[in-house]
Amino acid sequence: MSEQHHDVYPVRDDIAANAWADKAEYAAMYQRSIDDPEGFWAEQAKRLDWIKAPTKIKNTSFDRDNVDIRWFEDGELNVAANCLDRHLEIRGGDTAIIWEGDDPAESCHITYAELYDRTNQLANALKEMGIGKGDTVTLYMPMIPEAAVAMLACARIGAVHSVIFGGFSPDAIAQRVIGAQSKLVITADESVRGGKHVPLKDNVDAALTREGTEVCEEVLVVKRTGGDIDWHEGRDVWYHEMVDKQAMACPAEAMNAEDPLFILYTSGSTGAPKGLKHTTGGYLTYAAMTHQYVFDYHEGDVYWCTADVGWVTGHSYIVYGPLANGATTLMFEGVPTYPTHGRMGEIVDKHKVNILYTAPTAIRAFMAHGDSVMDSSSRDSLRLLGTVGEPINPEAWEWFYRVMGKKRCPIVDTWWQTENGGIMIAPLPGATPLKPGSATKPFFGVQPAIMDSEGQQLEGEAEGNLVILDSWPGQARSIWGDHARFVSTYFSTYDGVYFTGDGCRRDADGDYWITGRVDDVLNISGHRMGTAEIESAMVAHAAVAEAAVVGYPHDIKGQGIYIYVTLGDDVEPTDELKKELTQQVRKEIGPIASPDIIQWAPSLPKTRSGKIMRRILRKIAANECDGLGDTSTLADPSVVDELIEHRVNR
Ligand code: WT7
């Protein structure tokens, strides 16, 4: 195995001195979390306000015949009360959310007291609209405070939210509204990103014409831009008209710890996107604790996570974790490179951000413009940096460290997944020496292990598939409406453990290096896309006989989408058709799934049993045409030469 040699950045003494955990504390706490999970998590649960304190702590089984995950199962609490009510007395006047608009001239501060009032008003409005405990509400919203308010208002009355990222198409919205059986969609007229308006309401209108969406009876519309929209009398309701008249008090519903808090859809290697079900007590305990320890969050810090609330990172680390901890969380409407490539640094200066959590793809986008892109800001307020979403290449890590953080700020490279609810593998700033490209060590209660393809657990230095041996409180409990799929996706590859879908190497120091997905899931700019989903969008076009989608290395996005398309008989392969097929994917899934490269493929390399050999397609897409390995099992090996000859990425 090739050991990669990079610098190790030791823990800074000044950071260790003030951190929640130094090296010895991390080691002792980690050991305890594994030896005595019940005792450890019983104590951690005390960070929340419980209506009824839990006495049963952990009751979990990864046995494939009985996958059943419960934490704090006899406890009762309310997530919104934990994020709002309990802070009022001590910090009601402190800023909960700093909102920074797409336009640098627009920003505002919302205190905990104001957020409480707004949440309660919306909660009362939801009740008036007939939404109650256990109902599902779909959110398709811009990055505006109302998105956080909507999540919290649902939590307050026990409704289950399902947030859809604003880059998804009407078809994708329809699929998710149907999957969650949502009676209500909350949206806005338009969102604003990078100076452009995105027609959210139009997309919802189109989605709700699809068969099966009749379940959705009402659409609550925030007026963000005042742009032109169609109005469906009897179905559409203006947010401000509904909410402004409501009382500012709304009792928080007592929820069982295992009642669902939210559904969040994510892509897998096969089939339609899965709605992961996250519950109440364990999720919030884990989101709050990881936010405190991994970001070494201290009272008064200004914290900024650049994710969108449409992803789990936005759920756990813009809204729930920070607000549970009484933090000031910055919410940014726009894109990090608008109006200038230095915007991220400018926002840091403007709001004196101390902790900045972002994605490798954003860092690479800055890097492409040279060090001077950050000249417009000092970033002197920064103390800590974090990344998430995909493996960070050491060059991007070094750039982030040197330029963004001016060699003063530790970087926490955080590995986790939608399914996990919170950070799983990451350094703790006061405890863990940093290695560019390594997510380093497991969080408390997390037991990673590496398996070979035969299901043998590998010890010591090793490379293989990453699994987690036992449950942690933030874990998703199921796939909404399809527990069998939950079991088969995560607990059937290996017996009795959670399979992550990621490859991983553990070095001699016990540090973990995530190597990327081992299944047919792509990671495009940190966004998860299933190859099967994109293929089915392609073949839905009449001209397409067959399509195969693979990822290829992309300088900024990490991975790009490369599609091999076999056309039907007598269809002309034209550039015009390529554009149409691109439109087709954007329509079925959304702009985030836009193909980067389409190659016409007279036929695809298949085994004699008809299985497409993706290994070969990946190599050709990566322009690595030497050493394609054994092609003798192909039904027609000459197919490969033709694809190589016409490869597009070279
Ligand atoms: C997949 C999960 C929850 C975070 C946002 C993405 C990849 C995520 C890292 C990292 C290497 C990473 C993995 C994982 N990933 N963070 N720090 N280093 N890979 O959540 O959409 O559920 O995707 O993102 O491949 O399986 P997601």
For the stretch 48-95, pLDDT in tens is 999 999 999 999 999 999 999 999 999 999 999 999 999 999 999 999
pLDDT tens-digit map of 431-473: 999 999 999 999 999 999 999 999 999 999 999 999 999 999 9
The finding on whether 501 has its CB within 6 A of some atom of ligand 1 is yes
Least confident among 35-39, 549-553, 624-628: 624-628
In this prediction, residues 220-226 reach a mean pLDDT of: 98
In this prediction, residues 139-145 reach a mean pLDDT of: 98
Structure tokens at 290: 């990881």
Distance CA 154, CA 149 (A): 9
For the chain, the distance separating the N- and C-terminal CA atoms, rounded to the nearest angstrom, is 29
243 located within any domain: no
Distance of CA 388 from the midpoint of ligand 1 (Å):
6
pLDDT tens-digit map of 162-201: 999 999 999 999 999 999 999 999 999 999 999 999 999 9
| pLDDT over 70 (residue 2) | no
The finding on whether 523 has its CB within 6 A of some atom of ligand 1 is yes
Per-residue confidence (pLDDT) for residue 488, from 0 to 100? 96
Which residue is closest in CA terms to ligand 1's atom 11? 391
Distance of CA 417 from the midpoint of ligand 1 (Å):
5
600 known member of a binding site: no
Distance CA 84, CA 302 (A): 17
* Cβ-based neighbours of 590, under 8 Å, separated by 6 or more: 165, 167, 168, 169, 172
* Cβ-based neighbours of 314, under 8 Å, separated by 6 or more: 163, 305, 307, 308
Looking up residue 603, the CATH number of its domain turns out to be: 3.30.300.30
pLDDT-above-70 percentage for the chain: 99
Distance of CA 384 from the midpoint of ligand 1 (Å):
20
Name the residue with tokens 């500012």.
Answer: 248
The finding on whether 333 has its CB within 6 A of some atom of ligand 1 is no
553 lies in which domain range? 525-646
Per-residue confidence (pLDDT) for residue 269, from 0 to 100? 82
Beta bridge pairs of residue 547: 565
pLDDT tens-digit map of 270-297: 888 999 999 999 999 999 999 999 999 9
The finding on whether 514 has its CB within 6 A of some atom of ligand 1 is yes
pLDDT tens-digit map of 389-419: 999 999 999 999 999 999 999 999 999 999 9
Beta bridge pairs of residue 328: 302
Q: Per the structure, how many domains does the chain have?
A: 1
Which residue is closest in CA terms to ligand 1's atom 17? 415
Mean pLDDT of the chain: 96
Give 240-270 as a DSSP string. HHHHTTS-S--PPP-EETTSEEEEEEE--SS
Structure tokens at 560: 């790009």
In this prediction, residues 603-610 reach a mean pLDDT of: 89
606 located within any domain: yes
| pLDDT over 90 (residue 575) | yes
414 known member of a binding site: yes
Per-residue confidence (pLDDT) for residue 611, from 0 to 100? 86
Residues 503 and 516 sit within 8 Å (Cβ to Cβ) = yes
| pLDDT over 80 (residue 122) | yes
Which residue is closest in CA terms to ligand 1's atom 20? 417
Distance of CA 527 from the midpoint of ligand 1 (Å):
8
Residues 637 and 631 sit within 8 Å (Cβ to Cβ) = yes
| pLDDT over 70 (residue 368) | yes
CA-to-CA dists, residue 533 to 172, 267, 271, 529, 571, angstroms: 11, 8, 7, 7, 23
502 known member of a binding site: yes
Residues 494 and 462 sit within 8 Å (Cβ to Cβ) = no
- The single-letter DSSP state of residue 380 is T
CA-to-CA dists, residue 376 to 98, 195, 483, angstroms: 21, 20, 51
Per-residue confidence (pLDDT) for residue 383, from 0 to 100? 98
Distance CA 47, CA 50 (A): 9
Structure tokens at 264: 């969040």
Per-residue confidence (pLDDT) for residue 293, from 0 to 100? 98
626 pLDDT band (50/70/90 cuts)?
confident
549 located within any domain: yes
Distance CA 480, CA 606 (A): 35
Distance of CA 439 from the midpoint of ligand 1 (Å):
11
Q: Nearest to residue 358, comparing CAs of 289, 404, 406, 290?
A: 404
| pLDDT over 80 (residue 12) | yes
Do the strands 68-71 and 184-188 form a parallel or antiparallel pair, or are they unpaired?
A: unpaired
405 located within any domain: no
Least confident among 142-146, 419-423, 645-649: 645-649
In this prediction, residues 365-369 reach a mean pLDDT of: 94
66 located within any domain: no
The finding on whether 269 has its CB within 6 A of some atom of ligand 1 is no
560 located within any domain: yes
CA-to-CA dists, residue 240 to 118, 188, 454, angstroms: 11, 11, 58
Distance of CA 122 from the midpoint of ligand 1 (Å):
33
| pLDDT over 60 (residue 5) | no
In this prediction, residues 351-359 reach a mean pLDDT of: 98
Distance of CA 313 from the midpoint of ligand 1 (Å):
10
6 pLDDT band (50/70/90 cuts)?
low
H-type helices in 101-238, by residue range? 112-128, 145-157, 170-180, 200-207
Q: What stretches of 533-638 adopt beta strand conformation (E)?
A: 544-554, 558-567, 597-600
390 known member of a binding site: yes
Per-residue confidence (pLDDT) for residue 271, from 0 to 100? 82
The finding on whether 266 has its CB within 6 A of some atom of ligand 1 is yes
* Cβ-based neighbours of 334, under 8 Å, separated by 6 or more: 100, 101, 102, 103, 143, 192, 193, 194, 343
H-type helices in 273-392, by residue range? 281-294, 312-314, 321-324, 343-351, 360-367
* Cβ-based neighbours of 492, under 8 Å, separated by 6 or more: 64, 499
Per-residue confidence (pLDDT) for residue 418, from 0 to 100? 98
631 known member of a binding site: no
Q: Which ligand 1 atom is nearest residue 500's CA? A: 26
628 located within any domain: yes
573 located within any domain: yes
**Rounded to two decimals, what is the model's pTM?**
0.95
Per-residue confidence (pLDDT) for residue 7, from 0 to 100? 87
